[in-house]
Amino acid sequence: MNFIASIRVTLKESVLDPQGSAVVHALHSLSFTSVSDVRIGKYMEVSFHADDEQTARAQVLRMCDQLLTNPVIETYSFTLAEVRE
């Protein structure tokens, strides 16, 4: 079975986000003054093969823990979609 994992990686709440703060100021300068906060993270779409959905979920967890995220400062969530031929 073919799958696509859509992974959202964000900084933990306790971690300062200077990039996000810069975007808030830029949005304010473009008159989007109602914006109170921006958090910037990574978005990844991983296409891969697995025997079944449970195996696929386990693989995504391992990929995130081993390479795609930094557990010290980041958290992540993902959705999994099967890709039919």
Residues that bind a second copy (CB under 8 A): 6, 8-10, 20, 23, 26-27, 30, 32, 34-50, 59, 62-63, 66-68
Residues in the chain: 85
Helix (H, G, I), strand (E, B) or coil at 67: helix
Smallest distance from a second copy to CB 46, Å: 5
Smallest distance from a second copy to CB 72, Å: 19
Please report where in the chains the tokens 């810069």 appear, as a residue.
Answer: 22
Rank residues 8 and 12 by Cβ distance to a second copy and give the closer one: 8
**Could you give the C-alpha distances from 76 to 6, 7, 48, 57, 82, in angstroms and in order?**
10, 7, 19, 13, 20
Smallest distance from a second copy to CB 67, Å: 6
